Structure 1
Amino acid sequence: MYAIINIKDKQFKIVENKYIYVPYISMNVGEKILLNQVFLFFKEDKLFLGNPFLDNISVKIEILQHIKGNKIIIFKKKRRKGYRVKNGFRPLFSKIKIISFLEKKK
């Protein structure tokens, strides 16, 4: 059983009781969130596709921690001008755990 969901305009394939790193979610650690932007849901040899999202399926997640990723270096240079600038940043990520898939009965 897995699903493809939308978190911060990025798509992730999720499996129940697994951990993934997603772009920073501005909620406190330990909070549980219900996500309802599910593109695809696969369960017991049945595939459900949304148009664009599925209405009757949502995903319950828990935020475990907020971390910084590896440093990304931005280097700018103009040749023969003596212009060189080195900059960088560390992107923020949130580690989340997928608790369960919730299906609403019609």
Structure 2
Amino acid sequence: MFAIVTIAGQQFKVEEGQEIFVHRLEAQAGDSVSFDAVHLLANGDDVTVGTPMLSGATVGATVVDPLVKGDKVIIFKKKRRKGYRLKKGHRQQYTKLKIDSIAG
């Protein structure tokens, strides 16, 4: 069984027991969160598609780690012969979730 759900503005295909990284949520480790923006539910050959969302369908998850940092991205700008160089770095913050239940 899997579902397509919107979490923090992005759509994910999730299954029970799966661990995913989503953009940072305001939650503590061990908190239970549920998402009701479910777009599709599939259980074998039984597929239910929402228009655009299914009413009454929820996905339950537990926060494993509230703050995980992604890989560093380097931003480097340069204009030749002008003496202009700019180097910046960025690390995106994620929340690690474990999908507990898919109900619908």
Quickly name the TM-score band, shorter chain normalised: over 0.9
Alpha-carbon distance in 2 for matches of 1:68, 1:102 = 30
- Specify the alignment match of 1:88 in structure 2: 89
- What TM-score does the superposition give when structure 1 sets the normalisation length? 0.91
Q: Which amino acid aligns with 1:16?
A: E
Is 1:101 aligned with 2:88?
no
- Specify the alignment match of 1:72 in structure 2: 73
Identical-residue share of aligned pairs (%): 39
Any gaps of 5 or more consecutive residues in structure 2? none
Which runs of 4 or more aligned residues in structure 1 lie more than 6 Å from their structure 2 counterparts after TM superposition? none
- Specify the alignment match of 2:32 in structure 1: 32
Number of residue-to-residue matches in the alignment:
103
Query: Could you say what the CA RMSD is over the residues aligned between the two structures, in angstroms?
Result: 1.0
Q: Which amino acid aligns with 1:32?
A: S
Any gaps of 5 or more consecutive residues in structure 1? none
Could you list the per-position Cα deviations for residues 54-84 of structure 1 after superposition, in whole angstroms to 9, with x for gaps in the alignment?
Answer: 1121000000002111101111122321111
- What TM-score does the superposition give when structure 2 sets the normalisation length? 0.93
